[in-house]
Structure 1
Amino acid sequence: MSLYDLLVIFHLLLFVYWLGGDLGVFYSSGMVIDPKLSNSARATAAKIMIDLDFVPRICMTLMLTVGGLLVWLGDFGIEHPLWQKVGFIALGPAWLAMVVYLHVAHGTPLSKVVTKVDFWFRWALVIYLIIATSVSFYIGRLDPAPWVGGKLLIFAGLVFCGLMIRVYIPGYIGGIMALRKNVAQPSLSDDVNQSMAKSLGQCRPFVLAIWLGLFIECWLGVAKPGQTVPVSEVLGSVATVVGF
């Protein structure tokens, strides 16, 4: 089994765990806002949701690095300058380190600084991906494999959706904090419940957009529309691994 084969499997696992984790978060998020449940039950659902959400966050941080390595090793006709190779290889570990730190050190003074760094880093990544991919399309650099550019633009959209969720989530997070403080009480006030429901309702369209984007990303990676050499390396590699 080659390094490319291992990366293909890892890439597919990232997709599966990202979407699977998101589904779990989506389901448990509804339980957190259910006023029919006790505060204790809702607080427990919130803890499960937050722990589950860590998995998709990890998957997102590693996608560009693994995808970049696959395009490089897969010989799809796209040349990468040295600085770009170094960049996408270093991106995953660095971004992952930020996400892991924010998960384990949440609430500390330094975590507040890292949260801001992570937020603006994601905006910079969205802008860079859109500009760099658009320029690459314009100069013909992506002509041998236009599907790669499509995946990059969609990934920028996924990061953007995550940023929009951050914009609308404060009301929901505030409700979770209220649940933790009042876990022994039977319920929260109607105002807090309504604020949580409104906040979650504003976030859900972006969650659904992420799911759609992941599906399209998966299709592009398998079908490779526009590829000058019409061979599906993903299916071919997986078939080799399982013995076909």
Structure 2
Amino acid sequence: MVELTVLRWLHIVCMVYWLGGEWGVFQTSYNIVNRKLSMEERKRHLETAYRIDILARTGILLLFPLGFHMGTYWGVQPHGGWALVASWSIFTAWVLLCWSAFYFRETDRGIMLTKIDERLRFILIPVIIICSVSSLLGHGPFVALEGMRWFSVKILIFSGLLMIGLYLRFIMREWTTVFRQLAIKHDDELEAKLEKSIRTSRYIAYLYWVGILSVAFLGATKPF
């Protein structure tokens, strides 16, 4: 039970970084598109957004193996052993990929690594959705009996949040590309493109926060 307590603590920490990090990026975005600021100042805010976002990304990705691991103690997912090793290995490698993309974020290599991260989501998100829906229909791999369905629902919402996160990754990659172009020459069309993308992402962020809070609620209350 000590192991479960530590896992629960780490899960809470990751959730805090996820929710808090997204709020930090949201607030920083106002200065990123502020034309009244110098380009150097706006780039500093963009750098701040990336530094906040990498912790949120790390929290997001570690939530799955942590929850998957805790699920073995609660009996909602019966797959231990090799399944736990595979889960931790895949998501640890994914976290390392994200940090590599962050390290090289201002280069073509960083953009390439970010694209690899995005492609991985196109593979893993459908897998997570299929597993959660299949479990709710009574076919596994998770246990979704009365009083245990919260886990599969939580995983399903989590997959939806990963899709929103994927869209926001597209937005942040666009920020890097646009700022590299603006550093060469000021362009009102590019400025408008930047403002539009961030304006749209802000509306998406509200839905994102509702989803994050819903995942946290299900994990804390286990209502059904």
Q: TM-score range by the shorter chain?
A: 0.7 to 0.9
Instruction: Please give the alpha-carbon distance, in whole angstroms, between the structure 2 residues aligned to 1:189 and 1:117.
Output: 29
Shift of 1:104: 1.3
Q: Which residue of 2 aligns with 1:191?
A: 189
Q: Which residue of 2 aligns with 1:99?
A: 98
1:216 corresponds, among 191, 214, 217, to 214
Secondary structure in 2 aligned to 1:6?
Answer: helix
Query: What 5-or-longer segments of structure 1 have no aligned partner?
Result: 183-187, 227-244
Does 2:150 align with 1:147? yes
Shift of 1:179: 4.7
Check conservation: 2:101, 2:114, Cα contact below 8 A. yes
Q: Which residue of 2 aligns with 1:240?
A: none
Measured on the aligned residues, the alpha-carbon RMSD in Å equals 2.2
Instruction: Please give the alpha-carbon distance, in whole angstroms, between the structure 2 residues aligned to 1:36 and 1:147.
Output: 48
Check conservation: 2:144, 2:152, Cα contact below 8 A. yes
Check conservation: 2:29, 2:46, Cα contact below 8 A. yes
Paired residues in the alignment total 220
Instruction: Please give the alpha-carbon distance, in whole angstroms, between the structure 1 residues aligned to 2:169 and 2:53.
Output: 13
Q: Which residue of 2 aligns with 1:131?
A: 130
Q: Which residue of 2 aligns with 1:71?
A: 71
Check conservation: 1:102, 1:115, Cα contact below 8 A. yes
Question: How do 1:9-20 residues align onto structure 2 when only pairs under 5 Å count?
Answer: 9-20=9-20
- Structure 2 length-normalised TM: 0.88
Instruction: Please give the alpha-carbon distance, in whole angstroms, between the structure 2 residues aligned to 1:181 and 1:51.
Output: 24
Greater shift, 163-172 or 124-133, is seen at: 163-172
CA distance 1:17–1:164, shift in 2 (3 Å): same
CA distance 1:66–1:170, shift in 2 (3 Å): closer
Q: Which residue of 1 aligns with 2:32?
A: 32
Does 2:205 align with 1:207? yes
2:223 corresponds, among 222, 225, 228, to 225
Shift of 1:168: 4.6
Look up the equivalent residue of 1:174 and give its one-letter code: T
Shift of 1:126: 1.0
Shift of 1:97: 1.1
Check conservation: 1:19, 1:214, Cα contact below 8 A. yes
Instruction: Please give the alpha-carbon distance, in whole angstroms, between the structure 2 residues aligned to 1:112 and 1:53.
Output: 15
Q: Which residue of 2 aligns with 1:237?
A: none
Instruction: Please give the alpha-carbon distance, in whole angstroms, between the structure 1 residues aligned to 2:113 and 2:39.
Output: 31
Look up the equivalent residue of 1:118 and give its one-letter code: D
Instruction: Please give the alpha-carbon distance, in whole angstroms, between the structure 1 residues aligned to 2:171 and 2:105.
Output: 19
Look up the equivalent residue of 1:142 and give its one-letter code: A
Larger radius of gyration: 1
Higher relative contact order, chain-length normalized (CA < 8 Å, sep 6+): 1
- Structure 1 length-normalised TM: 0.81
CA distance 1:108–1:44, shift in 2 (3 Å): closer
Instruction: Please give the alpha-carbon distance, in whole angstroms, between the structure 2 residues aligned to 1:10 and 1:171.
Output: 32
Check conservation: 1:65, 1:90, Cα contact below 8 A. no
Does 2:184 align with 1:174? no
Q: Which residue of 2 aligns with 1:41?
A: 41
Instruction: Please give the alpha-carbon distance, in whole angstroms, between the structure 2 residues aligned to 1:41 and 1:108.
Output: 20
Look up the equivalent residue of 1:199 and give its one-letter code: S
Shift of 1:91: 2.5
Does 2:162 align with 1:164? no
Shift of 1:27: 0.7
Secondary structure in 1 aligned to 2:45?
Answer: helix
Greater shift, 167-176 or 32-41, is seen at: 167-176
Query: What 5-or-longer segments of structure 2 have no aligned partner?
Result: none
